[in-house]
Structure 1
Amino acid sequence: MLDEKTIRVIKSTVPVLEEHGETITTRFYEKLFENHPELLNIFNQVNQKKGRQQAALANSVYAAAVHIDQLENILPVVKQIGHKHRSLGVLPEHYPIVGKYLLEAMKEVLEDQATEEILTAWEKAYGVIATAFIDVEQEMYKNAEEQPGGWSGFRNFIVADKVKESELITSFYLKAEDGLPIASFSPGQYVSITINIEGEKYSHIRQYSLSDAPGKDYYRISVKREQENDKPDGKISNHLHQKVQPGDILPLSAPAGDFILTKDNSKPVVLISGGVGITPLMSMLNTIVEQQPEREVLFIHATHNGKYHAMQTEVQQLSATNSQVQSYFCYTTPTDQDRTDQRFDKEGYLNPDLLVSLIPFTEAEYYFCGPVSFMRTIKEGLEAANVPAEHIHYEFFGPAMQL
């Protein structure tokens, strides 16, 4: 517990963190990697280059300052980040390193504003927050290892099959190399994969949503290939698409994530995806069909056109053979062939008015995933339709942001 003086000092830094938070976290990561380059094996450099990791950390530090007297309010965020940390292999010994360079960055950026009193207070606060993360993550490590079919660290999986789903998305079917059972997971969760590229000093870790229902003898991930190799995130996606073939080995950590389908009620479900955001929602759709045959589900997907529409046949087959499933597709730039084949239901963007008009249920659970601008539109539409916040669920690919 923190004393009243420390809490008061931390709260006094809220305006400063609001103004300088990202400058502090940017400098923090620079100092961290300068002094501990081995951590480049854990941290996603794409998110660093895009500034998303810096922004996410700044938001977390700011939230910690605002809620320092009621840290239980940020426990959901701690658990969300904890899932990612466990999946990546973040360990208790990493936290003192992070604390050291975060305080140094704060002192460097804020200069005279970073008084001894403020730095001492933040050192105490960081110790309490780090302990909360460590405790949550240690429990996650234990659960991941001790569950049936579970394991610790990374486990080798063989690429059993590779299936092109669209112009940009390819699915990889992954089976455990040791032939032993694999852990189940909650629909919506992801796995981390370690990629080593010849000639590169550091390994790369990427997190990909599981795109099929649990209970199989394989995991399926469906990866979008960035069209340019020189894009920050193009290197790994192109490597998977071009270099990784059936028979190759990919090390995986056990499934993780808190964006999960609620299965303890029978409310109808609306699954809304844009582009590659379809992947976790396919896991949810398949799970509902297999495990909750009486639960109604509406599957809405938006993409450019038929060339980029992944898993359309799979969704259409589920709709055709299961009366509980309805599907609706929006294409922003349909081709003439798309029109001839009647591959889509609506030309244009999935705007809030259209979204609301499609929903046949008076009450439902809503799950959505896709580009940030797409998710912002969906969230605004659902809120305008007075959907309760507790029925709205969404997932970011990468560090959490704000809609």
Structure 2
Amino acid sequence: MAEQPAITVDVHSPAVDVNAPLDARDTQLVQQTFAVVATLGADNVGIIVFKNIFQIAPEALGLFSFKDEADLYARGGKLEKHATKIVNTLAMAISLLGDLTALVPSLQELGLRHVGYKVLPEHYDVVGQAIIMAMGMALGDKFTDPVKNAYLKVWAIVKTTMVGDNYS
């Protein structure tokens, strides 16, 4: 089994204020802990995210092209492919946290595409909650309040950027 990436930033203190702007420590917390999560595989993490989405909002299944699949979680199926894309996009966003000039246009374009998929602003809350839950499951005792709050700050940036002015 591959050795997990090291987490060198203190995951316990100081506290992370979710209302403060994203700072370098928040970025380190998310990037280093996500590197650990990534060792599980984007497909596996993505399936956990989708199980969480459907636990939080079962009606969300109706929004997806794979809604009628007999075996929703089949390996190589449409859900797994979409789940892998979501985790890979999240990984891209996390890797670009230090370069918002590169990140923002990608998220804006992705948000605009999601308007066409009939995604509503409130759907981002469900996905964000599902991702945070998945991070907690994957990280176990490394998913401390500061780590959770850093992820909440990152998701707020993702959501705000993807929603943008698309629903005005």
Give TM-score, length-normalised by structure 1: 0.32
Matched residue, 1:88? 117
Which of 59, 64, 83 is the aligned partner of 2:93? 64
State the Cα distance separating 1:136 from its structure 2 match. 5.2
The 8 Å contact of residues 17 and 62 in structure 1, kept in 2 or not, is answered as no
Query: Which residue in the other structure is 1:75 paired with?
Result: 104
Pairwise CA distance, 1:76: 4.0
Per the TM alignment, residue 87 of structure 1 is displaced from its structure 2 partner at its CA by 0.8
Gaps of 5+ in 2: 1-20
- Give the secondary structure class of the aligned counterpart of 1:93: helix
Structure 2 residue identity aligned to 1:12: Q
Identity %: 23
Q: Secondary structure at the match of 1:137?
A: coil
The 1:71–1:17 alpha-carbon spacing in structure 2 relative to 1, beyond 3 Å, is farther
Alignment partner, residue 139 of structure 2: 110
Q: Deviations over 1:147-191 (max 9, x none)?
A: xxxxxxxxxxxxxxxxxxxxxxxxxxxxxxxxxxxxxxxxxxxxx
Helix, strand or coil: the match of 2:97?
coil
Contact 2:49 2:134 in 1 (8 A): yes
Task: Indicate if the aligned counterparts of 2:97 and 2:103 stay in contact, CA closer than 8 A.
Answer: no
2:102, 2:51 → 1: CA distance? 30
- In structure 2, relative to structure 1, the CA distance for the partners of 1:30 and 1:135 (3 Å cut) is same
1 CA distance for matches of 2:127 and 2:36? Answer: 20
Aligned counterpart, 1:9: 29
- The structure carrying a bigger helix percent of its residues is 2
For each residue in 1:267-314, what CA deviation from the matched residue of structure 2 results, as whole angstroms up to 9, or x when unmatched?
xxxxxxxxxxxxxxxxxxxxxxxxxxxxxxxxxxxxxxxxxxxxxxxx
* Residue 68 (structure 2) pairs with residue 39 (structure 1): no
Corresponding residue to 1:28 among 40, 49, 55: 49
Using CA pairs below 8 Å that are at least 6 residues apart, which structure has the higher relative contact order? 2
Task: Detail structure 1 runs of 4+ shifted over 6 Å in the superposition.
Answer: none
Contact 1:85–1:137, Cα closer than 8 Å, also in 2:
no
**Structure 2 CA distance for aligned equivalents of residues 10 and 83 of structure 1:** 25
The corresponding residue for 2:5 is none
- The residue correspondences of 1:306-385 to structure 2 (distance < 5 A) are none
1:217-366 to 2 correspondences below 5 Å? none
Displacement of 1:109 in angstroms is 2.3
Residues 14 and 98 (structure 1 numbering): CA distance in 2 closer, same or farther, change over 3 Å? closer
- Higher strand proportion, which one? 1
Distance 2:130 2:102 in 1: 26
Relative to the length of structure 2, the TM-score reads 0.72
Partner of 2:166, secondary structure, is helix
2:153 to 118, 124, 128: 124
Shift of 1:122: 0.4
The alpha-carbon distance between structure 1 residues 105 and 14, as it changes in their structure 2 partners (threshold 3 A), is closer
Asked if the contact 1:9–1:121 (Cα under 8 Å) also holds between the matched residues in 2, the reply is yes
Higher alpha-carbon Rg: 1
1:18 is aligned to 2:38: yes
**Cα distance in 1 between the residues matched to 2:135 and 2:43:** 11
Provide the rounded CA distance (Å) in 2 between the counterparts of 1:18 and 1:80.
24
Structure 1 unaligned regions, length at least 5? 143-403
Distance 2:145 2:92 in 1: 22
By how many angstroms is 1:57 displaced?
0.7
Q: Cα RMSD over matched residues?
A: 2.2
